[in-house]
């Protein structure tokens, strides 16, 4: 058994399956901040990984756990009592992907009702910029963050494919290409973390509306969004080139060991560090892009090297539960804590172990390694 296989098995047996759905061991935000159980994107990232693992090994306990976990939050009528649709928080859409998958496997009506409610109660009503891009959240009006692309756009693509909504498919692609037009830095080829369409937020440039810095994990989320949408839609669409372009840009910032830094454009900045969650999102997207015929062997090798770098250098596999290190707990802009988008801000956020934002992309990447090209 390889180290990666051992890590995946241990995470499954000792970290995921024993977790109480209302108090999962991987949600460090909830544990550290004492949050009450609620429908959230971190948990749903892990359930996405669980279902991907089920798809490759057909371990029925993984499916049973995904059902048990989801049923702790989704009622028989498809409602999700612990979320408020009127928050217009794109993070809340992320779990809708799992509802599609569970419905397709089990045929249970509650899952279909769940994703229909997410569509009708939030997506249709989600506020947008004049250009058509979604606001990230109601509390962040007129703002676009690349993170939100992963949370919502693959869900929209899946919904559009199910219902044959050509206009929605075009909307998804337009939002992704508009993010490129607005947020891509032409020098590095990477994307800024935030954009304020009013140019008035304290973290935003008064001319461009862009935040100050390029944060790794937001670029990782965007990579994964592009990769997943390309897989869902299957056809030769322009965003395939956008994905290849971003993966190529990120690969140019990988360190000699294969890692990407918390602030990838400043590898030698004091206090900067190799960050595992964003590195793994890059690895996942690179391997998927190669499997889909979007990129070449060079990008695949960068993805493999990144995965191996995390496996061999940032996971302690000596105990019953592996311990992944160097995971940035959170990253954001504005809000009550005054997050100003500076390099100092991103390097001041807590660095933690075994958070779902790192473990889930690790398992997702592992499943890509197991698939045939």
Adjacent-strand bridge partners of 196? 143
Nearest-10 Cα torsion for 360, 363, 369, 373: -50
- Residue 29 tokens read as 């935000």
Q: Are 239 and 245 in contact (CB under 8 A)?
A: no
- Residue 33 tokens read as 């901040």
DSSP code at position 230: H
Which is nearest to 233 in space by CA: 281, 162, 150? Answer: 162
Q: Are 260 and 216 in contact (CB under 8 A)?
A: yes
pTM for the model stands at 0.98
285-292 mean pLDDT: 98
Q: Are 309 and 331 in contact (CB under 8 A)?
A: no
pLDDT tens track for 70-111: 999 999 999 999 999 999 999 999 999 999 999 999 999 999
- What are the domain boundaries of the chain? 3-370
* pLDDT exceeds cutoff 70 at 373: no
CA 93 to chain centre: 12
Which pLDDT does position 151 carry in this prediction?
98
* pLDDT exceeds cutoff 70 at 342: yes
CATH topology of domain 3-370: Glycosyltransferase (1.50.10)
pLDDT tens track for 109-140: 999 999 999 999 999 999 999 999 999 999 99
Which pLDDT does position 336 carry in this prediction?
74
pLDDT tens track for 33-76: 899 999 999 999 999 999 999 999 999 999 999 999 999 999 99
* pLDDT exceeds cutoff 90 at 372: no
Q: 41: phi > 0 → left, psi -120 to 50 → alpha, else beta; which? A: alpha
CA 97 to chain centre: 12
């Amino acid at each position: 058994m390889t180290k990666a296989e051992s890590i995946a098995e241990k995470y499954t047996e000792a970290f995921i399956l024993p977790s109480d759905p209302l108090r999962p061991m991987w949600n460090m935000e909830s544990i550290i901040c004492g949050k009450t159980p609620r429908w959230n994107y971190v948990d749903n990232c892990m359930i996405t990984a669980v279902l991907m693992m089920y798809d490759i090994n057909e371990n029925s306990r993984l499916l049973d756990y995904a059902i048990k976990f989801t049923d702790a939050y989704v009622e028989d009528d498809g409602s999700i009592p612990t979320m408020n649709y009127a928050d217009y928080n794109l993070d809340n859409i992320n779990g809708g992907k799992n509802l599609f998958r569970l419905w397709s496997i089990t045929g249970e009506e509650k899952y279909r009702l769940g994703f229909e409610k997410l569509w009708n109660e939030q997506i249709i009503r989600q506020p947008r910029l004049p250009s058509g891009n979604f606001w990230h959240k109601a509390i962040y009006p007129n703002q676009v963050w690349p993170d939100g692309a992963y949370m919502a756009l693959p869900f929209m693509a899946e919904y559009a494919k199910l219902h044959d909504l050509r206009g929605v498919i075009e909307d998804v692609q337009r939002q992704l290409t508009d993010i490129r037009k607005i947020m891509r830095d032409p020098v590095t080829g990477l994307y800024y973390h935030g954009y304020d369409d009013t140019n008035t937020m304290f973290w935003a440039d008064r001319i461009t509306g862009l935040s100050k810095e390029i944060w790794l994990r937001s670029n990782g989320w965007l990579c994964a969004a592009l990769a997943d949408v390309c897989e869902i839609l299957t056809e030769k669409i322009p965003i395939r080139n956008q994905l290849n372009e971003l993966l190529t840009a990120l690969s140019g910032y990988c360190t000699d060991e294969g890692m990407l830094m918390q602030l990838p454009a400043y590898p030698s900045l004091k206090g900067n560090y190799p960050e595992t969650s964003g590195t793994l999102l890059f690895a996942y997207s690179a391997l998927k892009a190669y499997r889909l015929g979007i990129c070449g062997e060079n990008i695949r090798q960068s993805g493999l090297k990144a995965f191996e770098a995390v496996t061999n250098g940032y996971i302690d596999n000596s105990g019953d539960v592996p311990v992944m290190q160097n995971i940035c707990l959170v990253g954001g802009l504005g809000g009550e804590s005054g997050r100003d988008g500076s390099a100092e801000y991103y390097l001041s956020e807590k660095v933690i172990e075994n958070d779902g934002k790192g473990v889930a992309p690790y398992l997702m990447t592992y499943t890509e390694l197991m698939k045939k090209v």
